[in-house]
Structure 1
């Protein structure tokens, strides 16, 4: 296989860029920037998210069985970039961004366009990421707008 062609082809897959919220066994909030996310079913409403094996976030989802997804708005590159590294909460803020919690106890960011919360119903362990399938159990909209995409940031995933 031509490695360059493979990389170019895989980078042609379109992605959004989201903040995925998690929590530990004490309810302490955590979040990471995620881009591999898709809806897999309408009824029940299911989504799949890929999470890198061995990360704090992956371990928290495995233990808690829940996660949140925050849909960011076009132009929020700085916000999502802040979640590419490990963070510790400061009160009700992560990376300086205010959050609150609802059904799952995972962070919901006030600056996000919208959010949904999921209960894990399936886990697939393959490669260097786990795929968690979550049933959407709560959702909300903060405001209307266009979602942030990976392409707009100039970042790449795949290859």
Structure 2
């Protein structure tokens, strides 16, 4: 297989860019994620991949819950702030205000919308864990166009 062709082809997959909220007994966290898709209408399931061994992946594994915050087109600076390890400062992560609802995972006030999930299954595959989450809560802060990887110029895959 031609490695350059493989990379080009895989980078052609379209992705959104989201803030994934996590928690465990040590507190809350969030990371920029893009391996996410809805996998069932009824019941509502999504599938999320989280890099194995990261703080957030370990928090999802131990708590069995996560939140997904859908960002608005133009929020590249916000998502970029979550590419590195973070510490909570009151009700702020990386300088962005959050609240919590059913799962206790961060829900960002600046996001377009959010949903919260309870993990119903998981699979370790390659360098990621894949979590199937049942959507147990959702909310909309405002209408808008979602942030995409293409808009940011970032590449992930290949």
What range is the shorter-chain TM-score in? over 0.9
Counterpart position of 2:95: 96
RMSD: 0.5
SS at match of 1:134: strand
Counterpart position of 1:21: 21
Deviations 1:61-108 (A, max 9, x none): 000000000000000000000000010000000000000000000000
Counterpart position of 2:42: 43
Aligned pairs, number: 158
SS at match of 1:117: strand
Counterpart position of 2:138: 139
Distance 1:110 1:74 in 2: 15
Structure 1: 5+ residue stretches without partners: none
How many Å apart are 1:42 and its aligned residue?
Answer: 0.2
Normalising by structure 2, report the TM-score.
Answer: 0.99
How many Å apart are 1:37 and its aligned residue?
Answer: 0.2
1:6 paired with 2:17, answer no
Distance 2:48 2:115 in 1: 13
Deviations 1:19-60 (A, max 9, x none): 00001124x110000001000000000000100000000000
List 4+ stretches of structure 1 deviating above 4 A.
Answer: none
Normalising by structure 1, report the TM-score.
Answer: 0.99
SS at match of 1:48: strand
Distance 2:74 2:142 in 1: 15
1:121 paired with 2:95, answer no
Deviations 1:101-144 (A, max 9, x none): 00000000000000000000000101000000000000000000
Structure 2: 5+ residue stretches without partners: none
Distance 2:5 2:28 in 1: 40
Distance 2:52 2:44 in 1: 25
